[in-house]
Structures are given as C-alpha cells and as structure tokens.
A and B are shown apart, each in its own frame.
Chain A
C-alpha cells in the first residue's frame, strides 16, 4: 500500500494560499510510515493548514503532496486517513456512543457490518478511556473528554495514517501520558503512521521524528536526538530557539 519510495507522506514545493496570505511556502518534507512524526511550532505558524492539506480539506494547495501513494484528498484515501481537528468535531447533542455509532456507520455502512461496527466502537471507547461515559451527552462532557471523543472517532476505522491536530491540549498529565502510550502502541502494533501537531515543546521528546515549523516554513526535519546534538542543546525547545536565531541571522546577513 505504500508507494515505492516507502514514505507515508511526501511533499515537494507544498504551498498554500489563504486569501492574500501565503501560509505555507514551498515546503519539502516526508513522513515515515509506522512512526510518530511531531509537527511543532508556535501558534499560527501553519501547522493546522499543513495538516488540512495532508487530509485533503484545504483549498488552494499547490506543489506535490502524496499521501499513502495517492495525491492528498484522493477519494480512496478517505477510509484510510483519520483526522482530528483542533476543536473537537462531534455532535454535542448526541451521546458519546451515538456519535461513534454514526461515524462507524459512515465508515462501514450496512447491516452486514453491524457486529464489526459495535466492536470498533467499543474498542475505540476503551482506547480513549471513555467507556464509563458512553451514555453521556457529548455536550455535557469536559473539554478534555470531548477531545477524546473526537479522537475515538478517528480511531474507529483503524486508519493507516492518523493526523492529529493538538490532541493533548488542555489534558491533565496522566491522560496525556496515557494518550502518548496509545499513540506509540498504534505505531508499534498496527504500523499506523501518526502526524501529531503541538505547540508544547516537551511533547517533542515523545516523537520519533520532528518537523519544526515557523512562519510557514520548515526549520528542521530530523529525530529529537539529532536536533539536540546538532544544536548542542539539552532540550528540543532550546534547539528550536537556536534554529530560530540562526534563521534570523541568515536573513539579516542576506539583506
């Protein structure tokens, strides 16, 4: 199912225009299959736009963007890519289980799949630890719980690629640790490719690879270890700041 070059996502000259603003400027990057790639950078740097381009919901995308061997947004990718937006996109006037039942029916419609669907819903509820809240209205849940419902929806179809936009924002440390454990399990046991964005740098240490972004450009594409070593710093956060300063100096010199 992977393309010949063995990458899950491959971008060449990826550019996105929003209104008169160029949000992404000619990005080149790859996402390795079966690994967790962290997309890090400050708010407003274009992380969400990049993710929407990968999922195929972003308009005005130019350059090449191959996802699981097909152009991003290709209809054949829809069952294979799970996507969680930053704001939880679930029906607040349905219970947790009713939400999952509906999205499961969209993924695998028909009576014949009823048992498969029920199992998938139960499994997803367990994975995000919401079994005890399955009959609660999504609108009555806390923000963090609603985020997990949204995540559970993306886990339903056992997707090959999971694109998660700041999935752990506002969650307590215990839950954050549990979710990162789940992400690692998905990558290790199901060979799921995960692209996870965050503006919290300490989450970078939990990823296999990192894409550091700033102002619509990618500053670095490497493993956390390599980034720290190259910058001669102890943390990814310091490495990021180092890269930002270096880029600013380069711009200054070029002027």
Chain B
C-alpha cells in the first residue's frame, strides 16, 4: 500500500470524501433538505408579522434568531446523523478502516457547514432585503456569525450523540443542552439585567456570544472589537467541542 493510505490525523481527501458522502445522503432525503432550508425562512417571516407594530423589536429578536436557527437545526441533524452512524455499524466499520477520527468529524462539520451557509443565505437574505430587518453592519457579517453558530451546533450534536443510546434520547438533549442557553443568551432579557448568578452562567455559555455577535452587527457599521471577540469565542467553542466529540469516537468498544 502506498503512503497515502496511512492514517494521518487529518487527510484532506478522506475528509472531503466524507463531507461529500454526508451531502449525498442528504440529497436522497429531499424532505429534510426542504425543512432545513424553508423552516427558518418561514419562522423569520412569521416573526416579522408578529412584531408588525414594533420594527425595533423585530430587528433585535430577528438578528438573534438568525444566529440561533442554524445552531439548533445543525445540532438536531448532526446528533441524529452521528447516532445513526453509531447504531448502524458504519462507524465501527469506518474506524476499522484507515479513516482518521478527525476526517470523520471534519467531514461532518464541512457538510453541515455548507448546508448552514445555504440556510443562512436564504434566511438572512430574506430578512434584510424583503422583511426590512434593519442592520447597521454588513449582512455578510450576519452570515459569518450564522455559519459559526451552525458549526457550534454541529459540534454540540456530535458530542452529545455519544451519550445517547437511541433517537429518543438524542432529541431530548435538544431541550437539555440548547434551551438553557436560549433562556440565558439575552434573547428575552439583556444579559446585564439578569441576576448576577444567571449572568455569570450566561457568560460561559457559547450561545450568548453568538447572540452578542449578531447584535454587534445590528448596532454598528464597523467591525467592533467586541464582535471579533464574540466570533472568536464561538469559533473556539466549536473547535473545542469538536475535539471533545472526536474523543468520544472509540476504535475499540465493548
């Protein structure tokens, strides 16, 4: 066998092949693709008319939601997809083959990251150009935050799927992992108005920075220092959780 078949931590060709495979699986499931792409669009439209009388509220909640949608959907899709990979025996097969754990994780992150780009393009584009979402900064920055959020969702989904033995358990991790972050991220009450303990907790939850980042773009024409800090924290958390997810993949199992 040639040198290319040795197991390196990350092999670009194997990573790309894995990403392409995940996208091919999605392509055979048009209903899931439809739901992934259209549900955020419909929800943001609904939100626009719920806050018909107060466009300022729509701006702030709308921008936050553009960051939260990709996180939640990618969390759900990834946790189920990797759980299926674990239960169907394909994960065991792959890990008995010369595939690096990093190839698998990065492949999933790439594939769902690509879907998130598409999803966010639709939702952000519609919000800014059709629904009158008023952002001071560049809509492309909203897209950047949305994609990083999707990556974080993918990472969290990969990680928790290791602790779920069935689809029933996997979907229960959504409220368990995502809802506390949703309540504390500043969507309902600004974080600095929370009780000190809750604010401290929200300070260590990644979704808080996802929402803060969105609001920075909303309120400033330039790229602010806070914005850079926010996206670095979100990206750093995503990478950290992806690494934790890789650690849950065991070549040898009982």
Query: Do A87 and B251 form a contact, CB below 8 Å, given A102-B17, A110-B13?
Result: no
Cβ of A109 within 8 Å of any chain B Cβ, yes or no, is yes
Q: How far is the CA of A108 from the CA of B93 in the complex (A)?
A: 16
- Considering only residues 1-50 of chain B, those with a C-beta below 8 Å from chain A are 1, 4-7, 11, 13-14, 17-18, 20-21, 24-25, 28-29
By the criterion CB–CB under 8 Å, are B96 and A109 in contact? Answer: no
Interface residues on A, range: 35 or more
Cβ of B134 within 8 Å of any chain A Cβ, yes or no, is no
Cβ of B253 within 8 Å of any chain A Cβ, yes or no, is yes
Q: How far is the CA of A79 from the CA of B3 in the complex (A)?
A: 11
Question: Chain B 75-112, CB within 8 Å of chain A: the 1/0 string?
Answer: 00000000000001110111111110000000000000
By the criterion CB–CB under 8 Å, are B17 and A85 in contact? Answer: no
Question: Chain A 101-135, CB within 8 Å of chain B: the 1/0 string?
Answer: 01101111111110000000000000000000000
Cβ of B220 within 8 Å of any chain A Cβ, yes or no, is no
Residue of A61, A90, A109, A110 ringed by the most chain B CB atoms within 10 A: A109
By the criterion CB–CB under 8 Å, are B24 and A107 in contact? Answer: no
By the criterion CB–CB under 8 Å, are A94 and B253 in contact? Answer: no
**Residues in chain B near residue A79, CB distance under 8 A:** 1, 5, 97-98
- Considering only residues 174-200 of chain A, those with a C-beta below 8 Å from chain B are none
By the criterion CB–CB under 8 Å, are A57 and B254 in contact? Answer: no
By the criterion CB–CB under 8 Å, are B14 and A109 in contact? Answer: yes
By the criterion CB–CB under 8 Å, are A87 and B97 in contact? Answer: no
Residue in B closest to A58 when the chains form the complex, CB atoms? B252
Residue in A closest to B88 when the chains form the complex, CB atoms? A89
By the criterion CB–CB under 8 Å, are A57 and B252 in contact? Answer: yes
Query: Do A109 and B17 form a contact, CB below 8 Å, given A57-B96, A58-B252, A59-B253?
Result: yes
Cβ of A19 within 8 Å of any chain B Cβ, yes or no, is yes
Query: Do A19 and B254 form a contact, CB below 8 Å, given A89-B92, A110-B13?
Result: yes
By the criterion CB–CB under 8 Å, are A110 and B251 in contact? Answer: no
**Residues in chain B near residue A137, CB distance under 8 A:** 28
Q: How far is the CA of A228 from the CA of B216 in the complex (A)?
A: 81
**Residues in chain B near residue A92, CB distance under 8 A:** 88
Q: How far is the CA of A95 from the CA of B21 in the complex (A)?
A: 11
Cβ of B250 within 8 Å of any chain A Cβ, yes or no, is yes
Residue in B closest to A84 when the chains form the complex, CB atoms? B93
Q: How far is the CA of A90 from the CA of B85 in the complex (A)?
A: 9
By the criterion CB–CB under 8 Å, are A78 and B90 in contact? Answer: no
**Residues in chain A near residue B28, CB distance under 8 A:** 93-95, 137
Residue in A closest to B253 when the chains form the complex, CB atoms? A59
By the criterion CB–CB under 8 Å, are B252 and A56 in contact? Answer: yes
Partner of B21, one of A73, A75, A102: A102
Q: How far is the CA of A111 from the CA of B13 in the complex (A)?
A: 8
By the criterion CB–CB under 8 Å, are A75 and B96 in contact? Answer: no
Cβ of A153 within 8 Å of any chain B Cβ, yes or no, is yes
Residue in B closest to A60 when the chains form the complex, CB atoms? B254
By the criterion CB–CB under 8 Å, are A18 and B254 in contact? Answer: yes
Residue of A73, A89, A95 ringed by the most chain B CB atoms within 10 A: A89
Question: Chain B 167-208, CB within 8 Å of chain A: the 1/0 string?
Answer: 000000000000000000000000000000000000000000
- Cross-chain pairs A/B with CB under 8 angstroms, 10 sampled: A60-B254, A73-B252, A79-B98, A83-B96, A94-B28, A98-B24, A105-B14, A106-B98, A107-B98, A108-B5
